[in-house]
Amino acid sequence: MDTIEYLTGQFHEFPQDSIDRGLDILRQDAFNAFNTMGIPGMKHEEWKYTRINKLFNTDYSLSADPADHSVSTSDLGPYRLPGNKDANELFFINGRFAFDLSVIQSAGLQVLPISTAYNGEHRDVIAENLSHSSRYLKDGINALNTAFLQHGVFIQVGRGLILEHPVYIYNITDARTANIFSQPRSLVNINEGAQVQMVETFITFGMNESFTNQVMEVVVQQDAVVEYYKIQNDASHTNQVSTTHFRQTAKSYVHTVTISLNGGIVRNNLNMVMDAEHCESHLYGLYFQQGKSHIDNHTIVDNAMPNCLSNEFYKGILDGNSSGVFNGKIFVQRDAQKTNAYQSNKNVLLSEEASVNTKPQLEIFADDVKCSHGCTVGRLDEEGLFYLRSRGISEKIARSLLLHGFVVDILDKIRLAVIRNYADQLISERLEFDIS
Amino acid sequence: MLKIQNLQAGIEGRTILKGINLEIKAGEVHAIMGPNGSGKSTLASVIAGKTDYEVTEGRIEFMGKDLLDMLPEKRAGEGLFLGFQYPVEIPGLSTTNFIKTAVNELRKYRGEEPLDAVAFLRLMKEKMALMDIQQPLLSRSLNEGFSGGEKKRNEIFQMAMLQPKLAILDETDSGLDIDAIRIVANGVNKLRSKDNAVLLITHYQRLLDFIIPDFVHVLYNGRIVKSGTKELALELELKGYDFIKNDLNIAETV
Ligand SMILES: Nc1ncnc2c1ncn2[C@@H]1O[C@H](COP(=O)(O)OP(=O)(O)OP(=O)(O)O)[C@@H](O)[C@H]1O
Ligand SMILES: [Mg+2]
């Protein structure tokens, strides 16, 4: 059966929320939008270089029953991130939040099904923020996730709480017996003065096809501090569109690092909506791809209000037949005077076949702003290589040292030491490089 | 130790070295002087194995082995060291890690066990004192943002750590203050022994007051046009290169 047809059938099968129509209307509108816009193809300006429509030729199943997943704690063992004993661990299995597997250690951290939260005390924040990302991502793939958001969860960190345990979020696809299309969905509310470190990763079990279409929306309230790290190192037969949408509703601080090391087609949408004065955000990224991997980092920084600072720095290494896309949009709206917005993207191509498309897009409607952007695409520094080799270091090790040196400043932006070291280890293993 | 015969090399069809002959024996210190653009750094780079340059004629023998066939890292393994005129900045690689890697790669080449952390640290401390180099500099990314003098001092520090048989120092004295020159000279003199040799490339007689060369050569337009003892350097200091050019003109007209 055609995947689109299948999804349509699934959409109509799921029960509607009987208590309140709010979420149903959102879903129905999103489904209509999906039907109108369809899966974005090459003609869609934001999807020119990343072709996901062909992925819909596969027969996928959507996981029907959240309690019915076949993943056990022991399956998870080898995939859990280092430092997990000290972490809150949240598991999504095939797009459904697994309450049974998840471990919450911090009293101030709460996870609720989205409809429970909406019909309970969180209605206002949900009504205001759920699907906020669709204002920025006008395509059928974002709408498709929203159409199924009844499986989503509401995550919140209580007012003034400084979480001493980081929050690890695992998006697991169990493709051991079937091709899986999964759509994890969450709305995270970081309350006033709260501080949290989040780490998100994607893991696929089994060799069947998997396509993850994930959306996480994060509301950052007054004086909150958020660190968010995304580690993508899934198998090369897996594909994903991963959307992380931050909205800073008052003076607050967001620091993100996106590390992308493997996967078939990986498309990241990282949005930073600075909806209040004196917000600060940092967006760092590192992609290191080989084989036929395709990595696309689309970022949007929307400076809507005055006196905000955003700083964006992505680096990439592309080897083999891999391809990369960096698209960095910065909006500085008319009222956003005294905005500081910086952006830079640097790439090293290691093979003739590897390629990258890098495109800064600045749309500035205010006049008293400081903005800068720059991008480079180059090869490994031959002078540096000769310098190291002239000291007796073999070409192979010299290359590794140079490449490791190229990425280490981004790794150092990960302030959670176990995760920083883990990412470093993954990269060093790829470089066959001894970090000791 | 090093024997260069009729070396001709160039780049993109342009000949830079036009037949160099030079022999350096163990225990000797040679100095090469010559005007800007005469080919001094090119000669040093070709000896060290930079592949940008095409060798069209001649041969180089080092410790009895044909050098031109060897990869740069192998040449270093055999005991060659080049102190760069323009040391390269390597972001994200600490000087300490770089030197440690180099020390152990050379040891591996010679079939020795890698130095453990303690032994490496001891060696570092000793050479740091010798070269008057402080730890903060070595913790920084290799040469990145180093001042001109710091870069040169770091080159000599590497030489001291790697203990080469033949050190070629390309204008290591340029940009150094007088105290630093003394320190660098001291480092070089410490390396001198009957088994080692040094090739200094310099524009200034000043360095040769501290490191007394056995031979001084003048490289001019891709050829060694004059060789002598340290007095030749003094003469050049007094008269400039014009007297060499005049000599050459006379020679050519005769
Ligand atoms: N990579 C290169 N590409 C093009 N030309 C080169 C290259 N390397 C050297 N040359 C040329 O060869 C000539 C010799 O250069 P070299 O650097 O060897 O001079 P030098 O004697 O070391 O000069 P200086 O005293 O200024 O350091 C110069 O004319 C230089 O421009
Ligand atoms: Mg030179």
Please give, rounded to a whole number of angstroms, the shortest distance from the CA of A409 to a CA of chain B. 7
Contact between A389 and B106 using a beta-carbon 8 Å cutoff: no
Please give, rounded to a whole number of angstroms, the shortest distance from the CA of A349 to a CA of chain B. 17
Question: Taking Cα atoms as reference points, which of B213, B134, B207, B218 lies closest to residue B174?
Answer: B207
Ligand nearest to the CA of B32: 1
Q: Report residues whose beta carbon is within 6 angstroms of any ligand 1 atom.
A: B 11, 16, 34, 36-42, 52, 85
* Residue A320: pLDDT over 80: yes
The residue nearest atom 8 of ligand 1, judged by CA position, is B42
Chain A partners within 8 Å of B48 (Cβ):
386, 390
Which atom of ligand 1 has the smallest separation from the CA of B16? 12
Q: What is the pLDDT of residues A136-182, one digit of tens each?
A: 999 999 999 999 998 899 999 999 999 999 999 999 999 998 899 99
Question: Taking Cα atoms as reference points, which of A198, A186, A258 lies closest to residue A224?
Answer: A198
Ligand nearest to the CA of B39: 1
Q: Name the β-bridge partners of A238.
A: A210
Q: How far is the CA of B57 from the centre of ligand 2 (A)?
A: 21
Q: What is the pLDDT of residues B12-42, one digit of tens each?
A: 989 999 999 999 999 999 999 999 999 999 9
Tokens for B108? Answer: 């591996």
What's the ipTM? 0.96
Nearest residue on chain A to B94, alpha-carbon basis: A405
* Residue A428 parent element (H or E): helix A417-430
For an interface test with B, give the residue of A346, A381, A386, A436 to mutate (most B CBs within 10 A).
A386
Identify residues of A whose CB sits under 8 angstroms from chain B CBs. Answer: 381, 383-384, 386-395, 397-398, 401-402, 404-409
**Rounded Cα distance, A369 and A339, in Å:** 5
* Residue A141 parent element (H or E): helix A140-147
At B21, the amino acid letter reads N
Q: Determine the residue of B8, B11, B16, B170 to mutate for testing ligand 1's pocket, defined as the one with the most ligand atoms within 8 A of the Cβ atom.
A: B16
pLDDT tier at A80 (50, 70, 90 boundaries)?
very high
At B143, the amino acid letter reads N
Question: Taking Cα atoms as reference points, which of A40, A15, A151, A141 lies closest to residue A94?
Answer: A151
pLDDT tier at B254 (50, 70, 90 boundaries)?
very low
* Residue B153 parent element (H or E): helix B148-162
pLDDT tier at B238 (50, 70, 90 boundaries)?
confident
Please give, rounded to a whole number of angstroms, the shortest distance from the CA of B240 to a CA of chain A. 33
Q: How far is the CA of B136 from the centre of ligand 2 (A)?
A: 29
Chain B partners within 8 Å of A381 (Cβ):
88
* CB-neighbour burial class of residue B252 (10 A; exposed 0-12, middle 13-18, buried 19+): exposed
Question: Mean pLDDT over residues A86-91, rounded?
Answer: 97
Q: What is the pLDDT of residues A286-295, one digit of tens each?
A: 999 999 999 9
Chain B partners within 8 Å of A390 (Cβ):
48-49, 72-73, 75-76, 81-82, 84
The residue nearest atom 18 of ligand 1, judged by CA position, is B39
Contact between A387 and B87 using a beta-carbon 8 Å cutoff: yes
Q: What is the pLDDT of residues A357-378, one digit of tens each?
A: 999 999 999 999 999 999 999 9
**Rounded Cα distance, A173 and A71, in Å:** 10
Q: Name the β-bridge partners of A92.
A: A97, A171
Nearest residue on chain A to B106, alpha-carbon basis: A392
Chain A partners within 8 Å of B101 (Cβ):
393, 397, 401
Q: What is the pLDDT of residues A233-274, one digit of tens each?
A: 999 999 999 999 999 999 999 999 999 999 999 999 999 999
DSSP string for A121-137: TTHHHHHHHTTGGGGT-
What are the residue ranges spanned by the domains of chain A?
Answer: 3-276, 380-436
Q: How far is the CA of B163 from the centre of ligand 2 (A)?
A: 23
Which atom of ligand 1 has the smallest separation from the CA of B39? 18
Q: How far is the CA of B202 from the centre of ligand 2 (A)?
A: 9
Contact between B141 and A391 using a beta-carbon 8 Å cutoff: no
* Residue B108 parent element (H or E): helix B95-109
pLDDT for B237 equals 85
Q: How far is the CA of B43 from the centre of ligand 2 (A)?
A: 9
**Rounded Cα distance, A240 and A201, in Å:** 12
The CATH code for residues B2-253 is: 3.40.50.300
* Residue B143: pLDDT over 90: yes
Please give, rounded to a whole number of angstroms, the shortest distance from the CA of B221 to a CA of chain A. 25
pLDDT for A9 equals 83
Q: Name the β-bridge partners of A315.
A: A286, A346
- State pTM to two decimals: 0.94
Contact between B91 and A406 using a beta-carbon 8 Å cutoff: yes
**Rounded Cα distance, A54 and A227, in Å:** 34
Tokens for B156? Answer: 């000599």
pLDDT tier at B160 (50, 70, 90 boundaries)?
very high
Tokens for A254? Answer: 């967001």
**In whole numbers, what is the pLDDT of chain A averaged over residues?**
93
CA A10 to chain CA centroid, nearest Å: 26
A156 and A192 in contact (C-beta within 8 Å)? no
Please give, rounded to a whole number of angstroms, the shortest distance from the CA of B206 to a CA of chain A. 27
Question: Taking Cα atoms as reference points, which of B199, B197, B158, B150 lies closest to residue B45?
Answer: B199
**Rounded Cα distance, A286 and A279, in Å:** 24
Identify residues of B whose CB sits under 8 angstroms from chain A CBs. Answer: 48-51, 71-73, 75-77, 81-82, 84, 87-93, 97-98, 101-102, 105-106, 109, 141, 158, 162
Q: What is the pLDDT of residues A294-309, one digit of tens each?
A: 999 999 999 999 999 9
Q: What is the pLDDT of residues A390-415, one digit of tens each?
A: 999 999 999 999 999 999 999 999 99
B14 and B183 in contact (C-beta within 8 Å)? no
pLDDT for A63 equals 60
* Residue A100: pLDDT over 80: yes
Identify the three-state secondary structure at position A433. Answer: coil
What are the residue ranges spanned by the domains of chain B?
Answer: 2-253
**Rounded Cα distance, B131 and A209, in Å:** 60
Share of chain A above pLDDT 90, in %: 85
* Residue A18: pLDDT over 80: no
Chain B partners within 8 Å of A402 (Cβ):
90, 93
Please give, rounded to a whole number of angstroms, the shortest distance from the CA of A262 to a CA of chain B. 23
Nearest residue on chain B to A404, alpha-carbon basis: B92
Nearest residue on chain B to A436, alpha-carbon basis: B97
Share of chain A above pLDDT 70, in %: 96
pLDDT tier at A58 (50, 70, 90 boundaries)?
confident
